[in-house]
Amino acid sequence: MRVLVAEDHERVADAVARGLRRGGIAVDVAADGEAALAKARVHPYDVVVLDRDLPLVHGDDVCRSLHEERPETKILMLTAAATLDEMVEGLAIGADDYLTKPFRFAELSARVDALGRRSGRPRPSVLERGDVVLDPGRHVATRAGRPLDLSPKEFGVLQELLAADGQVVTAETLLERVWDENVDPFTNTVRMVLVTLRRKLGEPAVIETVRGAGYRM
């Protein structure tokens, strides 16, 4: 899953981004509404965590534009205002969920996970293929009941492969979905993560390399 955090308070944005990345989510950050729109028009985000009071372009205007241009992207609006009228207004302009500040990160993370399952093609809350099971909400992966100790990137790659339900996933798609905008597109990082992921999954091998195409479970 790939998420954009649009928040002008640097400490808040960094804390949210770090927390989501620990859960295997690819996170980009925008410090104003103009940057948020520019990034969202380039990358197909699953979820945008959108502060309502953004500089340059107000969060309401960002929300309206994203709702029109990227209807498959889900929007979690953040605001310091906690009145019912404010909440109704935020939902009316296209937000899919609403969270008031200050908030607990655990609640934000749970809401992002829930919205991510609703974005694009719906995904089940727990992903399974054969004896491999991954629960994104609890951040738990097992094989034949054995817990897998996965890094955030390994977890993210496994999640994308399981979500593809047997279809081939290209290395480019994995870079787009699991890594953020700072990744070098010419790096071999996908291949290296797959090496360690395959080792942790053990035998018999469950990730197949499709020559010239990508990878599939």
Question: Are the C-beta atoms of residues 111 and 83 closer than 8 Å to each other?
Answer: no
Q: Pinpoint the residues of the chain covered by CATH 3.40.50.2300.
A: 2-118
Per-residue pLDDT tens digits for 127-173: 999 999 999 878 899 999 999 999 989 999 999 999 988 999 998 88
pLDDT for the residue 24: 80
Q: Pinpoint the residues of the chain covered by CATH 1.10.10.10.
A: 127-216
Please provide residue 90's backbone torsions phi and psi, each rounded to the nearest 5 degrees. Answer: -60, -40
Per-residue pLDDT tens digits for 57-95: 999 999 999 999 998 899 999 987 666 677 677 678 888
Per-residue pLDDT tens digits for 97-120: 989 888 899 999 999 988 987 766
Homologous superfamily of 2-118: Response regulator (3.40.50.2300)
Closest residue by Cα to residue 129 from 217, 24, 198, 201? 217
Per-residue pLDDT tens digits for 163-181: 988 999 998 889 888 887 7
Please provide residue 5's backbone torsions phi and psi, each rounded to the nearest 5 degrees. Answer: -105, 110
Determine whether domain 127-216 maps to CATH 1.10.10.10: yes
In the chain, pLDDT over 70 holds for what percent of residues? 93
User: Cβ contacts of residue 104 below 8 Å, gap of 6+?
Assistant: none
pLDDT over 60 (residue 121): no
Q: Which residue has the higher pLDDT, 72 or 49?
A: 49
Rounded distance between C-alpha atoms, residue 51 and residue 100, angstroms: 10
